Amino acid sequence: MSHETVYSIASGKGGVGKTTTTVNLGTALAQAGKRVAIVDVDLGMANLAGFVSLSPDSTTLHDVLAGNAAVEDATYRLAENIVAVPSGIGLDEYAETSPEGLREAVSDLRAAYDYVLLDVGAGISHETVLPLGLADAVLLVSTPEPAAVQDTQKTIELTARAGGDIAGLVLTRTLPGSDISHEDLASRLDVPLLASVPEDDAARESVYAGTPLVAYEPNGPAAAAYRRLAADLAGIELESPDDGANDTDGADDVDETAEDDNTAGDTDAETGRTDDSDNADSDDADSTAVSSAITEAESND
């Protein structure tokens, strides 16, 4: 098993699939029986809040960084073996946060989970650079387009300034038969190529289904690429799903898990916290919430 357990998932350019990579990598690790925490450290443009159908008074990472709550109070179960720590969406809450508190929060999560994935915001600011140095390693996410690759180079430079280490490059939305060599792109950036995730119609379909791709279409090419990435990072072998089966090994559709976490009096087995909000009256409502969150994440990512 790799000694690296905390990864920052970062990109210089928005819209390259960073949050999609975070969610699917985390789900694939959870399917393998690893305990995973996904943390939205994009404090100004939170994307993961919709995954847990937060009520206005729900505890988020903003509360933790403001010193008003412990990180376990802002942890919400998505499915078996996987939880999310969302940031808040209010500007007033954001103004009260101190990004420096992220160091302690990540340390607490590191002790409680096998893997912690930090979904880092795009751009250059203290709050986006800080996670690059807190993680054991940084996963760079980019498409093969020149502008995205150029911005990836900036992220590499920022990581070096933050004292962080680069794990490698994940190229998304790649096209089979393209003249672009993915290995050459990684070589130009002087980083290892960890994965090439091909363009896959099922990826967009999974968004509207409100389900991570690796659970929605586990036999598809993009899902297979995310599973291989998870296996390589964890140093384990993952079995390919049987044809026609949608066996998520406990990491079921997120629309089902939202019901688990937002039913009155339901106690989270992962965190021990009880969520007293009752915001999941139906699978359809949960799916809509998650679908909207993923769509927003992809557009703002």
Which pLDDT tens digit goes with each residue over 146-156? 999 999 999 99
Q: Would residue 171 count as lying in a domain? A: yes
Which helix (DSSP H) or strand (DSSP E) does residue 39 occupy?
strand 36-40
Residue 231 burial (CB < 10 Å; 0-12/13-18/19+)? middle
Q: Would residue 56 count as lying in a domain? A: yes
Q: Would residue 246 count as lying in a domain? A: yes
Task: Quote the mean pLDDT of the chain.
Answer: 80
243 vs 172: CA distance, rounded Å: 24
Q: What is the pLDDT of residue 176?
A: 84
Which residue range(s) make up the domain with 230? 6-300
Q: pLDDT, tens digit, for every residue of 124-138?
A: 777 789 999 999 999
Q: Pairing state of beta strands 266-267 and 82-85?
A: unpaired
Q: Say what percent of the chain tops pLDDT 90.
A: 55
CB atoms < 10 A from the CB of 228, how many?
17
Residue 207 has pLDDT above 90, yes or no: no
Q: Please report which confidence band the pLDDT of residue 120 belongs to, taking 50, 70 and 90 as the band edges.
A: very high
Q: How many domains does the chain have?
A: 1
Are residues 71 and 101 in contact, defined by beta-carbon separation less than 8 angstroms? no
290 vs 50: CA distance, rounded Å: 6
Q: pLDDT, tens digit, for every residue of 44-76?
A: 777 776 666 667 678 999 999 999 999 999 999
CB atoms < 10 A from the CB of 31, how many?
28
Q: Please report which confidence band the pLDDT of residue 94 belongs to, taking 50, 70 and 90 as the band edges.
A: low
Q: What is the pLDDT of residue 138?
A: 98
Q: Would residue 267 count as lying in a domain? A: yes
Q: What is the pLDDT of residue 89?
A: 74
Q: Domain with 272 in it: what CATH number? A: 3.40.50.300
Instruction: Look up residue 16 and give its DSSP letter.
Output: S
Q: Which residue has the higher pLDDT, 126 or 145?
A: 145
Q: Would residue 184 count as lying in a domain? A: yes
144 vs 160: CA distance, rounded Å: 22
Which helix (DSSP H) or strand (DSSP E) does residue 167 occupy?
strand 166-174
Q: What is the pLDDT of residue 52?
A: 63
Q: Would residue 1 count as lying in a domain? A: no
Residue 209 has pLDDT above 80, yes or no: yes
Q: Please report which confidence band the pLDDT of residue 286 belongs to, taking 50, 70 and 90 as the band edges.
A: very low
15 vs 123: CA distance, rounded Å: 12
Closest CA to 105 of 137, 66, 139, 55: 66
Q: What is the pLDDT of residue 53?
A: 66
